[in-house]
Amino acid sequence: MNEYDSNRILDLVKKINYIPTKNLNEACCYILNTCHIREKATEKVYHDIGRVKKAFRKKTKPIVLIVGCVAQAEGDILLKKEKYIDAVIGPQSYHQINDIISKLETKSKPINYTEFEVIDKFDSLNSLKNSNNKISSFLTIQEGCNKFCKFCVVPYTRGAEFSRSITELVLEANQLVENGAREITLLGQNVNAYNNQNNKLSHLIFEISKIKNLKRIRYTTSHPTDFTKDLIEAHQSCEKLMPLIHLPIQSGSNKILKAMNRKHTIKDYLEVINSLIKVKPNIKFSSDFIIGYPGETYDDFKETIKLMKDIKFINSYSFIFSARPGTPAFKLKNIDQKDAKDRLVEFQEIAEKVKIQYRKKLTNKTINVLFENKMRDQNKYFGRDEHFNSVIVESNENLTGKIKNVKILEGNHITLYGEIVTNLNYNSFAA
Ligand code: SAM
Ligand code: SF4
């Protein structure tokens, strides 16, 4: 979502003649878009500011803006602690960035913009064409969260659930496709909780799927309790909907899920997975895991490992529990951190094995790849298959924006390498 927000910030500042530069030491304005989900993110902000300070030691200080969830959660602290920062702007206030920059151009005091103005934000953004021209583009459809998992900052930094209207989303999706997008990933912290005037995510998917040159639709991140029947059925009837679902589980232990206030059990989760497999047998899953949540015993952890082995997630993101100020879990007693680290290593080794076994089976298989770009200085193209695996092939033909059948020759845990198998039986179209 930060990538989507950053692109929209670029669209906004272009209006006041600010353009991106690759020459970081010459920039007159720095906009740092930040994430607050785990502890390291805040440290990174201070680290990045340190780098800017060093680069500009003998030059005029650039304008420095901190945008995003770190600004939202720690705005006042940041301004107090780091005088180099000119303004902090929350994720629901960045539509005001041009006013803020104009004020700062004429020298004013540090500014804190961290109100929740989500409706105003999208009203402002809707009048501005989305200029992102990637083959695979993001589109934020929903923001915020009402679920209040005990470990998570999102309800406090992004605010309550808000869903944009179908009309404005179809308009923006059309803009992205006109710019060249062939795949759109619909984004939300709770994307399948999307609800605008009783239109659900499945309605939106069907509306967007009518865009002729749009070939693929994805959505992320889903919550198990919001997997309604209509959405499950959409996976059967909408061919453009890709068969990979990122469905975070966090833990394989019911005791820990309850302690986290996840509002679902392992049984509920498995029911969702099985219903999806029933309508779409080639569907695959990826997930998020929090290792070492307060109260997690080794037996609880073993249940997480069992779940990984049973479901065979083709990708997973696992982190040690990070106590976030302001969340209910912040006050809980941490488990021994050496145990937590050991468990993370053990878990990630197993997750890697599961992934490698899955990938080995892809060798000599033919898969459908949407190519996103030519690789720098090479005759190679990068793309993704339906399950979001990265694929690289060599080609003299410009493949950007095309879907081709690719035979996988070899691969590692990051990339699959293959060759194009046919020019006859593929779904090709001009970018
Ligand atoms: N809404 C999604 C869901 O409930 O499944 C998850 C969105 S959250 C922004 C992304 C991921 O960050 C979570 O799935 C979780 O694994 C991780 N995360 C959030 N808070 C965390 C914390 N305090 N410590 C470690 N990981 C955390
Ligand atoms: Fe955070 Fe997701 Fe839980 Fe909402 S549902 S509080 S975004 S982890």
**Which CATH number covers residue 391?**
2.40.50.140
**Arithmetic mean of pLDDT over the chain:** 94
Q: Is the CB of 227 under 6 A from ligand 1?
A: no
Specify whether 108 is located in the same domain as 246: no
pTM for the full predicted model: 0.94
Is the per-residue pLDDT at 425 higher than 80? no
Q: What is the mean pLDDT of residues 60-68?
A: 94
Specify whether 280 is located in the same domain as 180: yes
State pLDDT tens for residues 108-158: 777 888 888 888 889 889 989 999 999 999 999 999 999 999 999 999 999
State pLDDT tens for residues 269-300: 999 999 999 999 999 999 999 999 999 999 99
Is the per-residue pLDDT at 47 higher than 80? yes
Specify whether 112 is located in the same domain as 125: no
pLDDT for residue 43: 84
Q: What is the mean pLDDT of residues 239-253?
A: 98
Helix (H, G, I), strand (E, B) or coil at 268: helix
DSSP string covering 288-338: EEEES-TT--HHHHHHHHHHHHHHT-SEEEEEE--PPTTSGGGGSPPPPHH
Q: Which atom of ligand 2 is nearest to the CA of 153?
A: 1
Specify whether 345 is located in the same domain as 407: no
Is the per-residue pLDDT at 417 higher than 90? yes
The 216-220 sheet, strands edge to edge: 136-140, 183-187, 216-220
Of 128, 121, 126, 130, the residue nearest 91 (C-alpha):
121
Is the per-residue pLDDT at 409 higher than 70? yes
- Contact between 250 and 220 (Cβ < 8 Å): no
Is the per-residue pLDDT at 428 higher than 70? no
Q: Which residues contact 49 (CB under 8 A, 6 or more apart)?
A: 32, 64, 82, 84, 85
Distance 137 CA to ligand 1 centre (A): 22
CATH number of the domain residue 286 falls in: 3.80.30.20
How many domains does the chain contain in total?
A: 3
> Looking at 68, 90, 117, which one is the last position of a domain?
117
Q: Which atom of ligand 1 is nearest to the CA of 153?
A: 20
Specify whether 80 is located in the same domain as 144: no
Range of the domain at 101: 2-117
- Contact between 387 and 284 (Cβ < 8 Å): yes
CA-CA-CA-CA dihedral for 381, 385, 387, 389, to nearest 10: -30
For the chain, the C-alpha Rg in angstroms (whole number) is: 23
pLDDT for residue 423: 55
Query: Which conformational region is residue 71 in: left (phi greater than 0), alpha (psi within -120 to 50 degrees), or beta?
Result: alpha
Residue 430: inside a domain: no
Q: Which atom of ligand 1 is nearest to the CA of 152?
A: 20
Specify whether 162 is located in the same domain as 29: no
Please tell me the distance from the alpha carbon of residue 42 to that of residue 23, in angstroms, as a whole number: 24
pLDDT for residue 269: 98
Specify whether 308 is located in the same domain as 204: yes
